[in-house]
């Protein structure tokens, strides 16, 4: 069991209020180090808000977010955490290489990292092209490449595979697993439930609350569902009494909950 | 803030500008065209010699203000500003990086515009010419600094464009272009004293009347103070965490 490993991310009682509406209401969550954790939920469930809180750009109304043992957004985390937002955040009027070189300087990475990243996101042949002239999928790979420059210990990826063709999607997931095997922790959001099987752990989010925090086999066993989609529906419809052992309890109960689930 | 990150940011902004020919044309060619029209209109009169130097300070300020506020708002809307805020880049690196890049464009703009005014339009400045160029550069940098402050306050590109008349027009009215300041009602004169453009145009008027560096030193100090103040507002209004 990896439950003894220190958590890459620990969220306790996180509240976010936007425009008078509570987007996240007292959320608890732990991302174990070195794992691929999938954050699944419909749009509007709070995935992006949670990820922004983890990388320290979200105003919060309460609770704690601890990343790699430091408060989220801490100065010392800015090189150690890579963030890719849903819309590609790179300069459309610069070339791929110019974008990577600028962010490499910003992150204290070198020219060798630029070359490595171009290979990792398979954009070597596009290096001299202006980002604005690339397809949507290529742009989001440039954005992912920027996050990989400094070899971060934690990668926070907001829907990184949307709109990509299946071959590329498979390649990217292979990259994610390679990074995870090298010790990187990954928090990846998706609204495509079938990406669940590629994750070590799943967090199901709905209306700013964690419906389940578990592994895929445990989730299916406890809900008696055939796939994640059905498990999600099962949990929503049993909303009044959620499967208690699947909901992440505040720190400490995690190991017990996990043991119970895998029985 | 670090010099390395500030300079890297300035270089990146300049690289973006290099790919954007229309903005460069707007920065360098448009003020020349407008100045040329004024010169043509008043051909054969001494008007250009008295009004021309004022325009050398005015056009750059307005154009730089607009270009800067739109450029920084694009940075915000593309999500790159938020990404930068998750990296070791400081808020000051972003603001001063932009100011340096556009400041360099301001130097280019002032040189081209002054050369055009003097050699093509035949403008004859009674005062010291290089001081005119210096004031024009400072006015352009002031436009950039005000644009950075405005876009830190504004939330959308549209708001930034709306802020342009709000910030520029009152300054134009009270700067002493239409009526000498000492003939204004007391309240307007006080307002005028609080506006940065007043001091830039005051210096240029002084130069058009035959002055040199010694006569405009005081006004230039005020303009520089406004530049520093606007950059501070821009850097402090920027937030790492947003709603």
For the segment B118-151, what is each residue's pLDDT rounded down to a tens digit?
999 989 989 999 999 999 999 999 999 999 998 8
- Backbone Cα Rg of chain A: 18
B9 CA: distance to closest CA in chain A (Å): 8
Identify all chain B residues contacting A78, using CB atoms and an 8 Å cutoff.
86-88
B75 CA: distance to closest CA in chain A (Å): 8
Give the pLDDT of residue A5: 57
The number of domains in chain B is 1
- Is B185 an interface residue toward A (CB < 8 Å)? no
Backbone angles phi, psi at A7, to 5 degrees: -75, 140
- Is B2 an interface residue toward A (CB < 8 Å)? no
| Domain that includes residue B204, residue range | 3-237
List C-alpha distances in Å: A102 to A43, A95, A139. 32, 11, 16
CA distance B91 to B86: 11
Tell me which DSSP letter residue B124 carries. -
Contact between A79 and B87 using a beta-carbon 8 Å cutoff:
yes
Give the pLDDT of residue A262: 35
Give which of A15, A93, A98 to mutate to test B binding, by max B Cβ within 10 Å.
Answer: A93
Give the pLDDT of residue B228: 96
**Sign of torsion over alpha carbons B183, B185, B189, B191:** negative
CA distance A151 to A107: 10
Give which of B4, B16, B87 to mutate to test A binding, by max A Cβ within 10 Å.
Answer: B87
User: pTM to 2 decimals?
Assistant: 0.87
Give which of B71, B83, B239 to mutate to test A binding, by max A Cβ within 10 Å.
Answer: B83
Locate A175 and state its tokens.
């990259």
Give which of A20, A22, A48, A78 to mutate to test B binding, by max B Cβ within 10 Å.
Answer: A78
**Sign of torsion over alpha carbons A132, A104, A152, B80:** negative
CA distance A72 to A79: 13
Identify all chain A residues contacting B13, using CB atoms and an 8 Å cutoff.
none
Locate B102 and state its tokens.
């556009």
Summary count for chain A: helices (H), strands (E): 8, 10
Closest chain A CA to residue B240: A57
Contact between A57 and B82 using a beta-carbon 8 Å cutoff:
yes
Contact between A93 and B16 using a beta-carbon 8 Å cutoff:
yes
Nearest CB among A83, A92, A108 relative to B78 is that of: A92
What is the rounded end-to-end Cα distance, in angstroms, of chain A? 13
Q: Report yes or no on B38 lying in a domain.
A: yes
- Backbone Cα Rg of chain B: 18
Q: Report yes or no on B104 lying in a domain.
A: yes
Strand ranges across the sheet with A36-40: A81-84, A154-158, A185-190, A36-40, A201-206, A209-214
Q: Which residue(s) pair with A203 in the sheet?
A: A39, A213
CA distance B112 to B108: 6
Closest chain B CA to residue A129: B19
Question: Each residue of A210-229: b (16+ CB within 10 Å) or e?
Answer: bbbbbbbebbbebbebeebe
Q: Report yes or no on B30 lying in a domain.
A: yes
CA distance A107 to A113: 11
A239 CA: distance to closest CA in chain B (Å): 29
Q: Report yes or no on B19 lying in a domain.
A: yes
Q: Which residue(s) pair with A14 in the sheet?
A: A27
User: Quick one: which of A70, A52, A64 has its CA closest to A27?
Assistant: A64
Q: Report yes or no on B18 lying in a domain.
A: yes
Size of interface A-B (CB pairs under 8 A): 77
Tell me which DSSP letter residue B61 carries. H
Q: Are A12 and A64 in contact (CB under 8 A)?
A: yes
Q: How many CB atoms lie within 10 A of CB B143?
A: 32
10 Å CB burial of residue A95 (0-12, 13-18, 19+) is buried
B16 CA: distance to closest CA in chain A (Å): 6
Pairing of strands A185-190, A154-158: parallel
Q: Report yes or no on B135 lying in a domain.
A: yes
CA distance B73 to B150: 10
User: Quick one: which of B12, B7, B152 has its CA closest to B68?
Assistant: B152
Pairing of strands A201-206, A209-214: antiparallel
CA distance B27 to B21: 10
Q: Are B39 and B48 in contact (CB under 8 A)?
A: yes
Q: Longest Cα pair distance anywhere in chain B, in angstroms?
A: 59
The contacts of residue A262 (CB under 8 Å, 6+ apart) are A215, A217, A218
Give the pLDDT of residue A253: 38
Nearest CB among A90, A98, A108 relative to B80 is that of: A90
Closest chain B CA to residue A76: B88
Nearest CB among B15, B83, B241 relative to A73 is that of: B241
Nearest CB among A60, A87, A91 relative to B16 is that of: A91
List the 5-24 stretch of B: residues with Cβ below 8 A of A. Answer: 5, 8-9, 11-12, 15-16, 19-20
Contact between A59 and B243 using a beta-carbon 8 Å cutoff:
yes
Q: Which residues in chain A show pLDDT less than 70?
A: 1-5, 239-263
- Is B85 an interface residue toward A (CB < 8 Å)? yes
Give which of A22, A57, A92 to mutate to test B binding, by max B Cβ within 10 Å.
Answer: A57
Nearest CB among A18, A89, A107 relative to B79 is that of: A89
Q: Report yes or no on B207 lying in a domain.
A: yes
Tell me which DSSP letter residue A90 carries. S
Q: Report yes or no on B48 lying in a domain.
A: yes
Per-residue pLDDT of chain B (243 residues; tens, 9 = 90+): 899 999 999 999 999 999 988 889 988 999 999 999 999 999 888 888 888 888 888 888 989 998 898 888 888 888 999 999 999 999 999 999 999 999 999 999 999 999 999 999 989 989 999 999 999 999 999 999 999 998 888 766 677 778 878 888 888 888 877 777 788 888 888 888 888 999 999 999 899 889 899 999 999 999 999 999 999 999 988 888 888
Give the pLDDT of residue A252: 39
- Is B1 an interface residue toward A (CB < 8 Å)? no
Q: How many CB atoms lie within 10 A of CB A7?
A: 20
Identify all chain A residues contacting B243, using CB atoms and an 8 Å cutoff.
18-19, 59
């Amino acid at each position: 069991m990896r439950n003894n490993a220190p958590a890459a991310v620990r969220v306790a009682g996180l509240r976010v209020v936007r425009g008078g509406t509570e987007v996240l209401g007292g959320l608890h969550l732990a991302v174990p180090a070195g794992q691929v954790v999938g954050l699944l939920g419909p749009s509007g469930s709070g995935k992006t808000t949670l990820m922004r809180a983890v990388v320290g750009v979200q105003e919060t109304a309460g609770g704690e977010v601890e990343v790699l043992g430091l408060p989220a957004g801490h100065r010392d985390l800015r090189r150690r955490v890579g963030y890719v937002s849903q819309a590609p955040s790179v300069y459309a009027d610069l070339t791929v290489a110019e974008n990577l070189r600028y962010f490499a300087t910003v992150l204290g990475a070198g020219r060798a990292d630029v070359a490595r990243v171009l290979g990792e996101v398979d954009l070597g042949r596009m290096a001299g092209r202006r980002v604005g002239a690339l397809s949507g999928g290529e742009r989001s790979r440039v954005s992912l490449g920027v996050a990989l420059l400094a070899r971060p210990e934690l990668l926070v990826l907001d829907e990184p595979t949307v709109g990509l063709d299946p071959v590329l999607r498979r390649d990217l997931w292979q990259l994610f697993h390679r990074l995870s095997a090298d010790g990187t922790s990954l928090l990846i959001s998706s609204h495509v439930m079938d990406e669940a099987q590629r994750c070590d752990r799943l967090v199901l989010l709905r209306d700013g609350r964690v419906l389940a925090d578990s592994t895929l086999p445990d989730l299916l066993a406890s809900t008696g569902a055939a796939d994640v989609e059905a498990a999600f529906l099962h949990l929503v419809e049993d909303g009044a009494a959620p499967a208690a052992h699947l909901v992440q309890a505040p720190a400490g109960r995690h190991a017990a909950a996990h043991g119970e689930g895998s029985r | 803030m670090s010099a390395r990150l500030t300079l890297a940011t300035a270089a990146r902004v300049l690289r973006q500008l290099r790919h954007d020919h229309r903005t460069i044309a707007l920065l360098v060619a448009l003020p020349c065209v407008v100045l040329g029209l004024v010169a043509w209109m008043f051909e054969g009169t001494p008007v250009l010699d008295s009004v021309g130097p004022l325009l050398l300070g005015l056009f750059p300020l307005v154009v730089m203000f607009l270009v800067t506020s739109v450029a920084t708002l694009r940075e915000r809307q593309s999500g790159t500003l938020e990404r930068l805020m998750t990296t070791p880049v400081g808020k000051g690196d972003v603001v001063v990086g932009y100011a340096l890049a556009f400041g360099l464009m301001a130097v280019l703009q002032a040189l081209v515009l002054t050369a055009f005014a003097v050699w093509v339009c035949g403008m004859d400045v009674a005062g010291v010419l290089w001081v005119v160029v210096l004031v024009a550069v400072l006015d352009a940098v002031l436009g950039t600094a005000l644009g950075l402050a405005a876009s830190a306050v504004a939330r959308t590109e549209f708001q930034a464009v709306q802020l342009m008349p709000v910030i520029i027009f009152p300054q134009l009215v009270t700067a002493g272009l239409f009526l000498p300041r000492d003939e204004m009602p007391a309240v307007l004169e006080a307002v005028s004293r609080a506006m940065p453009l007043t001091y830039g145009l005051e210096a240029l008027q002084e130069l058009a009347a035959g002055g040199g560096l010694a006569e405009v030193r005081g006004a230039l100090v005020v303009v520089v103070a406004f530049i520093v103040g606007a950059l501070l507002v821009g850097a402090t209004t920027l937030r790492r965490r947003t709603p």
